[in-house]
Amino acid sequence: MTKIAIGIDIGTTGARGVGVDEAGRVIAAASSPYPLVSPKPQWTEQDPDQWWRATRIVLAKIAMRVSDQHGSVAGIGLTGQMHGSVFLDSAGEVIRPALLWNDQRTGAESEWISERVGRERLIKITGNPALTGFQAPKLIWLRNAEPANYRRVAHILLPKDYVRYRLTGELATDASDAAGTLLLDLRTRDWSAEICDYLEIDVGWLPRVFESPEQTGIASRQVTEDVGLGPGVTVAAGAGDNAAAAVGTGIIREGIASSSIGTSGVLFAHTDSPVIDAAGRVHAFCHAVPGANALLGVTLSAGGSLRWWRDVTGHDYDKLVAQAAQIPAGAEGLLFLPYLTGERTPHSDPEASGMFFGLTARHPMGHLTRALMEGVLFSLRQALDVIDELGVRPDMIRVTGGGSASDLWRRLQADIYGIAVQRLAVDEGAAYGAALLGHLAGRTFSDVGEANTLVRPLEQTDEPQPESVRTYEDLYSVYSELYPKTAHDMHRLSALARR
């Protein structure tokens, strides 16, 4: 009987699931959307119960396909959006809507954490500065803004781990996702008692930390019966979406990095041991590979910038990208800063704002679209330069997400990064990596290296084009100076908008 593992990705706009057999083939896929709520400017929230409802729909659809294939489920792997905060009371009930990764309300709380712990000490322990998107500032915000809700807190979970709780009844997480809370010691791969003491957070509220391929429980009989799975299905610890995607794209050794263009844009580079940027310009996280680590650069509005532009213009993606493809490299001197929802790396600034710069009457819509796409990648290039500065120098980048399917996105990445980019035969992102972790928990494979023999790149490689590389190097030097020169005025405009 064929062994099939299921990977579930709790994304920002919906749950995505894939069933992957022991040969690496995707035999089933399903999605179920849910809404994103923004009750105030810069706030983003979701109802955790909607994640669970969507997960059940996805599991039921995949279970039906598994049954059709006469397969058995080896395990379930979980992944999802990082940093979100689910607050549970002592009865396991959700206290309030979850605060998400791109929620920017916690600027004051982030500053307080930096002062309380000390910025240098914080980065040394956790690998990261205090940022608005992370979980710890959200908990401090709850204490300050909603004290009645804070008094009810008994457990704090990340998004995928709430789904695990509903699936198995277990309170657990993994090191890669926990590294994005600002409460994990990067070197011990466990909660930092020191940080929790500084912040007056009860470490007992935090779930047990596992390595990503480890078993964390068994899906409950009620759930498996309801969705049509057999009994005794093992659930892996899983990983944060970026680490799971890295497993699914073979980023499990130094020398290869991944570039993902989704709502956000992420550069992910494997490191064998912790590598920390003392300035906090890029993230240092635990990897889903046991004992390994990673460096990440994040642009908050990557594909999100193109979606905004689609909504503003009223044109579909295909038309916009087709027009942009006809425009020469550099969009004839037009630049775009993609800070539509603030920025993460290398500029940690929730009040950063977007900008077209160099706009003239000779720039119709195609030029603006081209400049927007190039600006997203200039932002990620800044993170790549920091990663290189830290001694981690990939010579190949594997492209994933929506950007991998577009010839223009791939060509732009090769030319702006100055590194060859490669597609994969199967590009199911984080859900695929989660399925491989499900196989590992179910003992289909012995370790991540063996599971990654299933990850196969296509022969097609996009190489940097020398003439375009030269053009982009010149533009990049101008782009890199724009934020430092305009950040003060961005903040002034942000203050005026709040009046």
Instruction: Tell me how far apart the alpha carbons of residues 13 and 32 are, in angstroms, rounded to a whole number.
Output: 9
Helix (H) / strand (E) containing 479: helix 466-497
Residue 53: pLDDT band by 50, 70, 90 thresholds? Answer: very high
Amino acid 459: pLDDT: 74
Work out the average pLDDT over 420-436: 89
Which residue, among 437, 456, 449, 454, has the nearest Cα to 5 in the 3D structure? 437
266-300 pLDDT, tens per residue? 999 999 999 999 999 999 999 999 999 999 999 98
Tokens 């300035």 identify what position? 279
State how far the Cα of 63 lies from the Cα of 28, in Å rounded to an integer: 9
More confident residue, 341 or 154: 154
The letter for the amino acid at 282 is V
The alpha-helical segments, DSSP class H, found in 254-395 are 303-313, 317-325, 365-389
Per-residue pLDDT tens digits for 437-452: 999 999 999 999 898 8
Instruction: Check whether 404 has a pLDDT greater than 90.
Output: no
Distance (Å) of CA 15 to CA 45, 166, 215, 217 = 16, 15, 22, 21
Higher pLDDT residue, 429 or 225?
225
Residues 6+ apart with CB under 8 A from 258: 245, 246, 249, 251, 266, 267, 268, 397, 398, 399, 400
Q: What span, in angstroms and rounded, lies between the C-alpha atoms of 465 and 468?
A: 5
pLDDT of residue 139: 97
pLDDT class for 425, splitting at 50, 70, 90? confident
| Per-residue pLDDT tens digits for 100-150 | 988 889 999 999 999 999 999 999 999 999 998 899 999 999 999 999 999
Q: Domain map of the chain by residue range?
A: 3-242
CA geometry: angle 289, 219, 180, nearest 5 deg: 35
Percent of the chain whose pLDDT exceeds 90: 84
CATH superfamily of 3-242: ATPase, nucleotide binding domain (3.30.420.40)
DSSP string across 10-57: E-SSEEEEEEEETTS-EEEEEEEE---B-SSTT--EE-HHHHHHHHHH
Does residue 229 have a pLDDT over 80?
Answer: yes
Question: Taking the model in full, what pTM does it have?
Answer: 0.91
Q: Which residues pair with 461 in a beta bridge?
A: 422
Handedness of CA 198, 200, 202, 208 (dihedral sign): negative
**Which percentage of the chain shows pLDDT scores above 70?**
100
Say whether 241 is catalytic: yes
DSSP-derived 3-state class of residue 396: strand
pLDDT interval class at 264 (50, 70, 90): confident
Token pair in block for residue 183: 């409460």
- Identify the active-site residue in 241, 349, 415, 462: 241
Provide CB contacts within 8 A for 438, sequence distance 6+: 5, 6, 7, 20, 74, 75, 76, 77, 234, 235, 236
